[in-house]
Amino acid sequence: MAEGSGEVVAVPTSGAANGISNGAGGVPAQTSNPLSRKLNKILETRLDNDKEMLEALKALSTFFVENSLRTRRNLRGDIERRSLAINQEFVSIFKEVKEELESINEDVQAMSSCCQDMTSRLQAAKEQTQDLIVKTTKLQAESQRLEIRAQVADAFLSKFQLTSDEMGLLRGTREGPITEDFFKALGRVKRIHNDVKVLLRTNQQTAGLEIMEQMALLQETAYERLYRWAQSECRTLTQESCDISPVLTQAMEALQDRPVLYKYTLDEFGTARRSTVVRGFIDALTRGGPGGTPRPIEMHSHDPLRYVGDMLAWLHQATASEKEHLEALLKHITIQGVEENIQEVVGHITEGVCRPLKVRIEQVIVAEPGAVLLYKISNLLKFYHHTISGIVGNSATTLLTTIEEMHLLSKKIFFNSLSLHASKLMDKVELPPPDLGPSLALNQTLTLLREVLASHDSSVVPLDARQADFVQVLSCVLDPLLQMCTVSASNLGTADMATFMVNSLYMMKTTLALFEFTDRRLEMLQFQIEAHLDTLINEQASYVLTRAGLSSIYNTVQQHKPDQGSLANLPNLDSVALKAAMVQFDRYLSAPDSLLMPQLNFLLSATVKEQIIKQSTELVCRAYSEVYAAVMDPVNEYKEPESILHRSPQQVQTLLS
């Protein structure tokens, strides 16, 4: 292909081969031959870097399919024809595009004319409506301001005014019910009343004062209605088991802001419950429970302790129940003094049962059912006084005072009964029985004391009160008993009186030893027993020494003085008399039990008897030791004293032990 002309030149195969094979020797020919230059240029061309050439060859390959002499000669014409066809097709297509663009141009021109016309008309309209637009803008701004003011007014009303429904709830009717919504409305009134104080610190004081006055009137109306409703509800609480509704509890919570109405409502509740408790107490006394179970309390009037106990137990349960009812009623109260209010109302409720209770207990006590029963009733009253005061404190003064009065009355009659019994002991003092044991009056009195102390021990009265009662009971019984025993034994011999007193005191001691709070009395009794034991020990020792032949000898030895001379020269203390006495003493040593006073066999306590024998034996040994020492003393001039007293004191002590 000729460069620049597009002419295709046929190159003979042989000539091309020849030109290439000549090598370097043919260089001048190559440079002078245009064909050679073209060939060299073609051969030196690097097709992989010439993208345009590659694209041209690629396009050529689409229609140049046959490589022949004819096609090579006609290649240029074919290319030109193909190029012409493509250009003609391009012209045809662009002609259509041109026609479309001209159509669009016409449309755009028409639209432009229309827009210009509309712009002109709008401009004219704008000039004509300029005043209207200004007025409309002003009206819109005013509308926005009014809308904001309306929103502020709505917010103000919603903040500081009630809805018609809320007003209806608060005012309501006298017989209308109180619901949860009422308390919500009342709470809102309180909030408005508090929030409106903010207005008083601004320039809206007039509105604030009006709203505050309106809310205050609404509050008073609502509280008055709530008070009337709560009063009505309290009047209906006349069943023994009353259920406190949540709404009534809320009503009391709300009324605490009005102390007077709150107090009146509590009084109404107390009055209703008081009549219920009185009616329930009378029914329990006379009719019993539902269906006859439990049985009427009056049916046990023949059993004083159970009768009084059942009445007090019923009152205790009723008092606890009424306190629970009040706690349920006032559980949401936050003001101070709630506990005092509860105690005061419970005191008012239970006051109604005091009269019937007092009359019945007085009848039981005055009938004097016996000292033991009176003491049990006294302890029972003391226990319930302590228990009920623990539930309601000391505010239920009337009920607690009634129980305390009955306790003091029963206690007084009980001690009167004991004193009467003690005075009868002294009116007719019995002689001691032949066996020197406790008298019948003593046994009867100790049996009574044992029953009293046993009932006292089993009671649930507080410890300090029990101890005080013990001291008084023991003084009331034991002192007359001791006096009676002393008077009864006054005409007896020394040994008989000591034996009788030891037996009597021993019976008292064994009786008291079973109970608490008797330590002081037991010590006193033990001191008295020991005093009489000393008497019996001395009597037993004297009894042995007399019958063993040493009594007169011992007395002479004790009374002898050195200036009287030697003992051996005395008529009753010569060797013969001493030997005769020692014969009797040896018989005693061989059988110590043979020389016991008869009174010792009457002792009730084996321990006491053994103690007397032991200590009296020690006295005998001591007496023998003194006699032995005197005989062995050379000053007393006994010849061969070992033959007279052939037993040493140690031997005697060993034999007697």
With H, G, I as helix, E, B as strand and everything else as coil, classify residue 394: coil
Distance CA 347, CA 403 (A): 13
Question: Taking the CB of residue 296, how many other CB atoms lie within 10 A of it?
Answer: 16
Q: Give the pLDDT score at 612.
A: 92
Q: What is the pLDDT of residue 402?
A: 93
Q: Residue ranges of the alpha helices (H) in 256-303? A: 259-286
Longest Cα–Cα distance of the chain, Å, equals 208
Identity of residue 227:
Y
DSSP 503-537: HHHHHHHHHHTTSTT-HHHHHHHHHHHHHHHHHHH
Give the Cα separation of 506 and 526 in Å (integer): 8
Find out whether 501 and 442 touch, Cβ atoms under 8 Å: no
Listed as ranges, residues in the chain with pLDDT below 70 are 1-32, 47, 157-160, 169, 174-175, 199, 201-208, 395-396, 457-466
Q: Residue 506's pLDDT is what? A: 93
**Quick check: helix, strand or coil at residue 18?**
helix
The number of residues making up the chain comes to: 657
pLDDT at residue 4 in the model: 36
Sign, CA dihedral 265-270-273-274, equals: negative
Among the listed residues 304, 298, 312, 415, the one whose alpha carbon sits nearest the alpha carbon of residue 367: 304
Phi, then psi, of 5 in degrees rounded to 5 = -105, -20
Residues 6+ apart with CB under 8 A from 286: 296, 298
**Cα-to-chain-centroid distance, residue 297:** 35
Q: What does the pLDDT read at residue 20?
A: 39
CA distance 361 to 312: 10
For residues 405 and 336, is the Cβ–Cβ distance under 8 A?
A: no
pLDDT at 465: 64
* HSE-up (13 A, CA, CB side) for residue 360: 25
Task: Give the Å distances, CA to CA, from 561 to 483, 578, 635.
Answer: 44, 19, 12
Look at residue 8 in the predicted model and tell me its pLDDT.
39
Residues ≥6 apart with Cβ < 8 Å to 79: 6, 60
- Cα dihedral 365, 367, 369, 374, rounded to 10, equals 20
How far is CA 422 from its chain centroid?
51
pLDDT digits 0-9 by tens, 27-49: 444 456 888 888 887 777 776 77
Distance of CA 373 to the CA centre of its chain: 39
Q: Domain coordinates of the chain in residue numbers?
A: 165-230, 239-416, 485-657
Kindly state the DSSP code that residue 68 receives in the 8-state scheme: -
Q: Which two tokens stand for residue 197?
A: 């104080």
